Amino acid sequence: MAADIEVLLRGPKAYGLARRAMEAMEAHNVWPTPLNFELWLHYVADADTPLGKAIAGTVDKGEAFTDGLGEALAAQHLPSAKLNGELLTAGDALSKELDTVSRAIESARESSEAYGEQLATASQSLGSSTPPAVKAMVDSLTSATQRVQRENQALEDRLADTTAEVTRLRKHLEAVRREAMTDGLTNLANRKAFDEALDRALQAADVSGEPLTLAVLDIDHFKVFNDTWGHQTGDQVIRYVAGVIARSGAEPRTAARYGGEEFALILPGEDVSAALAILESVREEVGSRMLKRRSTNQDLGMVTVSVGLAERLPGEPQGSLIERADAALYASKRSGRNRTTRAEMISAAA
């Protein structure tokens, strides 16, 4: 069981716990976002829980605690994030069930209407020689059928109300899900949304046979920038770069914040040459502006990005495509930054 953080944060150990969480995050270069803070509070409160152990495992291995990892851990271990997913699934199931019931009632109403019409025709065709007992039976069947029709109609009306309410709830949950898939700082897709979008894009490329190129971008010398001007200005720089990438990331492309100062652009339908032209214009636009520090109007200088590109090889799995794009990005970094490298260039050089 995870510790009850709400209770702990209102108890005598609250400030000590919050301080320890912040210190641990700082020691491991973890951004103090609300989600990370909540995760690390759980970790310092009790490292023996599954969540605590998962964080300890990452720390012990010296792995970076990325946004994507934080989101995955939250979805798995934090009750609120888990609940959203479960509610959405339940909403989907309920909608489908209501659709089925609604169709069944509609078809029952149609059959009883048809049956009622047949009875009415039969009743009209009964002549004066028909025995009164038969006439009475037909009349009673007609009124029973009309009652069933009225009840079916009432059921259908109630079902329509329930369906409308479920639709409203689903829309609300969809909005929550959208929020859960969006990076709060930049409004780009977050790591989880990126993973899902890439998965979908690869499946679509398998079907269409069209090319697909993945670009990963990283802000150059971001740490120095952050240390010199502070986190707040660092965040503005991230938003600036995100804005430039977003302008080249309209549907069917996906622009995502992949990690702290790392971004990704999925380019379905583009081969690596077309992608190179697109990413070069992004890179040039990023480096074309002199940024200002908002609070003091001081010049912050230019910001540049390094880019890695990989066109998907036939049948290549997601992990390998990301690895090749990452390797190309690091080749850009190693060879001086502010440039774009294609994965095939490093494979050819190796």
Q: What does the binding site for ligand C2E look like in residue numbers (CB under 6 A)?
A: 233, 236, 239-240, 243, 291-294
Residue 233 or 338 having the CB closest to ligand C2E: 233
Residue 186 tokens read as 């930049």
Among 217, 245, 216, 220, smallest CA distance to 302 is for 220
Provide, rounded to whole angstroms, the least separation between the CB of residue 255 and ligand C2E.
12
Provide, rounded to whole angstroms, the least separation between the CB of residue 105 and ligand C2E.
51
Asked if 267 and 275 count as a contact pair (C-beta separation under 8 A), the reply is yes
Residue 28 or 239 having the CB closest to ligand C2E: 239
Q: How far apart are CA 321 and CA 344, in angstroms?
A: 12
- Please compute Rg for the chain using Cα positions: 30
335 CB contacts (<8 Å, ≥6 apart)? 341
Residue 16 or 301 having the CB closest to ligand C2E: 301
Residue 119 or 286 having the CB closest to ligand C2E: 286
Asked if 334 and 301 count as a contact pair (C-beta separation under 8 A), the reply is no
Q: How far apart are CA 348 and CA 213, in angstroms?
A: 18
Q: Which of 71, 261, 270, 311 is catalytic?
A: 261
Residue 220 or 326 having the CB closest to ligand C2E: 220
Residue with tokens 């709060």: 184
Provide, rounded to whole angstroms, the least separation between the CB of residue 240 and ligand C2E.
3
Q: How far apart are CA 304 and CA 224, in angstroms?
A: 13
Enter the DSSP assignment of 312: P
Residue 58 or 186 having the CB closest to ligand C2E: 186
Provide, rounded to whole angstroms, the least separation between the CB of residue 31 and ligand C2E.
17
Among 325, 179, 328, smallest CA distance to 258 is for 325
Provide, rounded to whole angstroms, the least separation between the CB of residue 191 and ligand C2E.
20
Q: How far apart are CA 154 and CA 131, in angstroms?
A: 35
E strand or H helix at 234, and its extent? helix 231-247
Provide, rounded to whole angstroms, the least separation between the CB of residue 98 and ligand C2E.
42
Asked if 192 and 178 count as a contact pair (C-beta separation under 8 A), the reply is no
Provide, rounded to whole angstroms, the least separation between the CB of residue 340 and ligand C2E.
20
Q: Which amino acid is at 338?
A: N
- The dihedral over CA atoms of 88, 177, 70, 45, expressed in degrees to the nearest 10, equals -60
**3-state class of 325 per DSSP?**
helix
Residue 182 tokens read as 């969006």
Determine whether 261 is an active site residue: yes
Asked if 278 and 248 count as a contact pair (C-beta separation under 8 A), the reply is yes
Residue 212 or 303 having the CB closest to ligand C2E: 303
DSSP string, 247-262: HT--TT-EEEE-SSSE
Query: Which residues are annotated as catalytic?
Result: 261
